[in-house]
Copies of this chain bind each other. A is one copy, B any other.
Amino acid sequence: MGVKVLTISENILGANEDKARENQDRLDEHGILAVNIMSAPGAGKTSLILQTISKLKQKARIGVIEGDVASSIDANKVSEQGVATVQINTAGGCHLDASMIERALNNLPLGDIDLLLIENVGNLICPAEFALGEHKRVMLLSLPEGDDKPYKYPLMFTEADVVLINKIDLLPYLEFNLAAFRKAVTGLNPKAKILPVSCKTGEGLEDWFSWLVDAIGEGRQV
């Protein structure tokens, strides 16, 4: 499947919240659950998306929007799995915004999608400030980033429905206090679900898939 590449400069002054609501209405009309996946660079967003496609593509029709400053490396990997994929290049912008998502939606077969996975730009700061029209927000922390990140990047952790701790297979080789991390996240966001996973070994991913299938089900009941 070919990859569409959109180069979109960020629209700082646009009415992002209004546009995000329009996007969500449009997604709801098509019965699509949209998930905004955020993390620092290299935490494993694309690996999570690839694992999710592999596991769930028989149960749900999946579409993917890939956000990057430059390149279409990730969209190419995803597209090879046979799902509808749009790459957004932000041309230096450090986050996706709702206008970018609108343009991506214009380039996706919305009638043929149940689950839309949106990979945000790798950045723990600004993506949390810009609603896209998503129904759920997922953030990945990569274990090597350290257990103090909720104190340094509080908004991202406050806004997440799910916090995945990825690369948990590296735990034996790192000093990472899981209890301290859980306490810090829960202090900011008592409702956040915290799931340790490894997109490399597959450890813990069943919990993620279950959460996602439940979220798709909830959307269908609305």
Binds B, one of A17-25, A107-115, A145-153: A145-153
Complex Cα spacing A121 to B149, Å:
12
Complex Cα spacing A93 to B52, Å:
32
A127-160 interface (Cβ within 8 A of B): 129, 142-146, 148-149, 151-155
Beyond A42-B145, A92-B125, A125-B92, whether A69 also contacts B170 by CB under 8 A is: no
A89-129 interface (Cβ within 8 A of B): 92-94, 121-126, 129
Q: Kindly report how many copies of this chain are found in the complex they form together.
A: 2
Complex Cα spacing A123 to B92, Å:
12
The answer to whether A71 and B144 touch across the interface, beta carbons within 8 angstroms, is no
Complex Cα spacing A41 to B124, Å:
7
A19-63 near B? 1/0 per residue, CB < 8 Å: 000000000000000000000111100000000000000000000
Complex Cα spacing A145 to B124, Å:
14
